[in-house]
Amino acid sequence: MNILIYISNIMIPLVVFYIVGMGLLQKKNIYDDFITGAKDGIKTVYHVMPTLIGLMIGVGVLRTSGLLDYITEVIAGFTENIGLPAAIIPPTIIRMFSSSAATGLSLEIFKEFGTDSFEGLAVGIMMSSTETIFYTMSVYFAAAKVSKVRWTLSGALICMLAGTIASIIIARFMVY
C-alpha cells in the first residue's frame, strides 16, 4: 500500500519534469508556450463563466425553493414500485446539473441510511456511473462554440438512465 502512496505523491512532479524535459530536448521556448496556454485558458474561462454561473444559480434555486422535494413526492410512488427509493431521486436529478450538489445530497443519504445500506450503495454507484450532463454540455459546447447538439443530449440522458438502473440492480445484489 505504501508503494501506491509513494507513486501518487511523485506522479505530478514527474509529469511536470517530463513536459519541461521534452520541451528542452525539442529546443522550444517553454515559458512562452506556458504563457500562451495560460492566456487561452483565461479566454476559455471568460466565455464559459456565464454558463457556469447560470447552472449554479439554477441548482441553488431548485434545492432551496422546495421544487426538488415536490418533484420527489410526485414521482416517489412510481419509483418505489420499480425499486428506486425516494431518497435517491434528488441526487439523481441534481447529478445531471451539478456534481458537487449531488455529492452533498449523497452525503446526506450516507448520514441518514448509512453507506452500507441499499440507499447508500445505490447512490454511491450511481454517482460513479453517471455524468453531469448539462454542466458538461454547457462547458464544452460553449468552449468549442458548438450550437447544434444533435443527439448528444438524448444519448447522454439514455446513458444517465442506464447508469441509474445499473446502480439499482448492482446495489440490490450487494445488499441481498
Residue 1 belongs to a domain: no
pLDDT, tens only, 61-118: 887 898 888 988 899 888 888 888 899 999 999 899 888 888 888 999 999 999 999 9
Residue 85 belongs to a domain: yes
123 — pLDDT class (breaks 50, 70, 90) = very high
Give the structural domain span for 128: 47-175
User: Checking phi first, is residue 66 left (phi over 0); if not, alpha (psi -120 to 50) or beta?
Assistant: left
Given a cut of 70, whether residue 1 has pLDDT beyond it is: no
Residue 145 belongs to a domain: yes
Domain total of the chain: 1
pLDDT, tens only, 148-164: 778 888 999 999 999 99
Spatial distance between the Cα atoms of 150 and 131, rounded to a whole number of angstroms: 18
Residue 6 belongs to a domain: no
Q: What distance lies between CA 40 and its chain's CA centroid?
A: 24
Q: Whole-model pTM above 0.75?
A: no
Q: Which residue has 450487494 as its cell numbers?
A: 174
Residue 58 belongs to a domain: yes
Beta strands in 54-108 (DSSP E): none
Spatial distance between the Cα atoms of 138 and 148, rounded to a whole number of angstroms: 12
Residue 147 belongs to a domain: yes
Contacts of 72 (CB under 8 A, 6+ apart): 86, 89, 90
Spatial distance between the Cα atoms of 119 and 45, rounded to a whole number of angstroms: 37
